[in-house]
Amino acid sequence: MMFRFAYPVVLLVLFSLLGIWIFFRFRTKTGSITYSMTSRLIRVAGASGRMADRAVFMLRILCLVLLILAAGRPQLYNVSHEVRSSGVDIVLCIDTSGSMRAMDFKLDRENVTRLDAVKHVVDGFIEKRPADRIGLVVFGSEAFTQSPLTMDKGLLLGLVDDMSIGMAGEETAIGSAIAIAGKRLKDLKAKTKLIILLTDGRSNAGDIIPVQAAGAVEAFGVKIYSIGVGGYGEAPFLVNTMFGPRTVYRRVDLDEETLKQVAAITGGRYFLASDTKELSEIYNAIDHMEKTEVKVKKFFHFKELYLYFLVPSLLLLGIELVLKATILGVLP
């Protein structure tokens, strides 16, 4: 819930007038004669009388301030949105196999695993697509749906952050990942359906050949953007030994040819990311290539608060009138 005044100009004008009135009130002498009941004459003539007169004046000022605030029409409100187009449906297929432990990527100038870099970049990509439904498939030796397509980006971001290396096994089942992502997309009515496939290895698990899986999802109108992660040659891995953590270098076999084929079959593109900057640029490029105009209608819901100012102001006015009629009196 947010707070606002519907008529801020009214507040400005009325508070300006109030300030001018207070200024001249203190610069000019009143033409009235303040008196009290006979039994209180001495007190009015002394300091107590002056204090009572000031108290009544402060009641009037407070009453006017509350009336001005009420006139400004204070409101609590919130905004809801209705998305009026199908946008883009996207399934992110992310490799969590053992090779994603390679520490050849950097975040804030520190070496991190490939998966940590991917999670960081994917978070940014998700946040840029508020009107699209996005799902998440993770794969290693097996592939499974981590999140169905959803517009709940908070839930999705949490599931991305919870991904861990080896959660689906140590090997790489690229064909299975494409097939499961295709199942999630095949019956949907979106204008654009995408699979963004990210891996750093070669398909060496599962019963489905990646190229065959790509041909099947192409029949559903699905486009694949494939991303190969890592460079050429050996990559550093942090391993625990009897002497403590040590860095060792191992070769990771990235199958670029297959990734290029699955993208070409579906009319998509292949990208190679050898560091965090390139990976971020790739997701930004995909984000710009697959923009769909989304019509969003806003609904404002208001709760009026003027009574919370008006009622106290009327009570203060009543108190002032009672004091003038009893303890104090004013002769014009």
Nearest to 255 by CA among 320, 182, 203, 300: 203
Question: Which tokens is 96 given?
Answer: 């969590």
Nearest to 323 by CA among 112, 78, 36: 36
Q: Mean pLDDT in each 10-residue stretch from start to end of the chain (332 residues)?
A: 87 87 72 50 53 76 89 85 69 96 92 95 92 93 95 93 96 97 90 94 94 96 95 85 86 93 96 93 91 67 89 87 70 44
Alpha helix ranges (H) inside the chain: 8-27, 41-45, 47-71, 114-127, 153-161, 174-185, 210-218, 256-265, 276-289, 307-325
Nearest to 149 by CA among 173, 183, 198, 177: 183
Give the number of other CB atoms < 10 A from CB of residue 226.
28
pLDDT at 243: 81
Q: How far apart are CA 192 and CA 221, in angstroms?
A: 8
Angle at 57 between CA 53 and CA 60, to 5 degrees: 145
pLDDT at 219: 94
Backbone angles phi, psi at 286, to 5 degrees: -65, -40
pLDDT at 85: 55
Is this prediction's pTM over 0.75?
A: no
